[in-house]
Amino acid sequence: MRRERLEMSKKKLHTLREDLLAELRAKNAEAAAMIDEGVPDIADQGLTENIKGFLHLLGDAKREEILEIDEALDRIRDGSYGSCLRCGDEIDIERLQLLPHTRYCVSCKGILEKEARIKAGPGVGTL
């Protein structure tokens, strides 16, 4: 991959990372405020727990994304950035521009998603 492409991806990844961190911090503050506003009675206790759970899940997704960004930055450093982690082919430039932290090319991503759906589908655990 050309050097200026790499630099562009690097810049994008850093920006994306900062955005995600800011979002995560904002969500945490929001959650803290929601919970700090107090629980008027026992019935609302469950609701607060739900909010906490939801924000936790949301936070996990963001954290996962930040992790992917860090991995992509590592790959830029070691020179493997832009290659699919599954088949080793070069990932489309357009795909990288849209998703600079992607690990896979479009076709591998499709296969992996299909596999995940099959794994999550009914009948799992009976085999």
The window from 13-21, 53-61, 63-71, 98-106 that contacts Zn ion (CB under 5 A) reads 98-106
Q: What is the DSSP string of 37-88?
A: T---SHHHHHHHHHHHHHHHHHHHHHHHHHHHHHHHHHHHHHT-TTB-TTT-
Tokens of 6: 């790499």
Tokens of 1: 């991959």
Q: Which residue, 31 or 84, has its beta carbon nearer to Zn ion?
A: 84
Q: How many CB atoms lie within 10 A of CB 52?
A: 14
- Integer distance in angstroms from the first to the last C-alpha of the chain? 44
**105 near Zn ion, rule: CB under 5 A:** yes
Q: Which residue, 72 or 108, has its beta carbon nearer to Zn ion?
A: 108
Q: Which residue, 24 or 105, has its beta carbon nearer to Zn ion?
A: 105
**84 near Zn ion, rule: CB under 5 A:** yes
In whole angstroms, how close is the CB of 84 to Zn ion at the nearest point? 3
Q: Which residue, 52 or 86, has its beta carbon nearer to Zn ion?
A: 86
**108 near Zn ion, rule: CB under 5 A:** yes
Chain residues binding Zn ion by CB under 5 A are 84, 86-87, 105, 108
